[in-house]
Amino acid sequence: MSRNCDVCGKGIQFGNQISHAHNVSRRVWNPNLQRVRVIIDGKPVRLRVCTRCLRSGAVQKQIRKAQEGTEETTTTA
């Protein structure tokens, strides 16, 4: 499974981890991917989307309807 955003294509980045003593070792930064159901062409599809695309509104999340009979009742006192 690839670690790329299905919307913007953001993927892993490589670089160096440098300690205080300047010891250098390779490290990886992974994107913050979330698996969400989004609406594409009027149909719900499950995609791996980075949080930047979710916050910017690049995708529209699917809104699930509440099931009948499981509605919560709230009382105001």
40: domain CATH number is 2.30.170.40
Answer yes or no: is 31 within a domain.
yes
Residue 9 CB burial class (10 angstroms; 0-12, 13-18, ≥19): exposed
* pLDDT confidence band for 77 (50 / 70 / 90): low
Counting the structural domains of the chain, the total is 1
- Residues 18-59: pLDDT tens digits? 999 999 999 999 999 999 999 888 888 999 999 999 999 888
CB 8 within 8 A of CB 14: no
| pTM > 0.75 | no
Range of the domain at 34: 13-56
Q: What is the pLDDT of residue 69?
A: 64
Measured CA to CA, the distance from residue 51 to residue 5 in angstroms comes to 9
* pLDDT confidence band for 74 (50 / 70 / 90): low
Measured CA to CA, the distance from residue 7 to residue 56 in angstroms comes to 12
pLDDT at 1 over 80: no
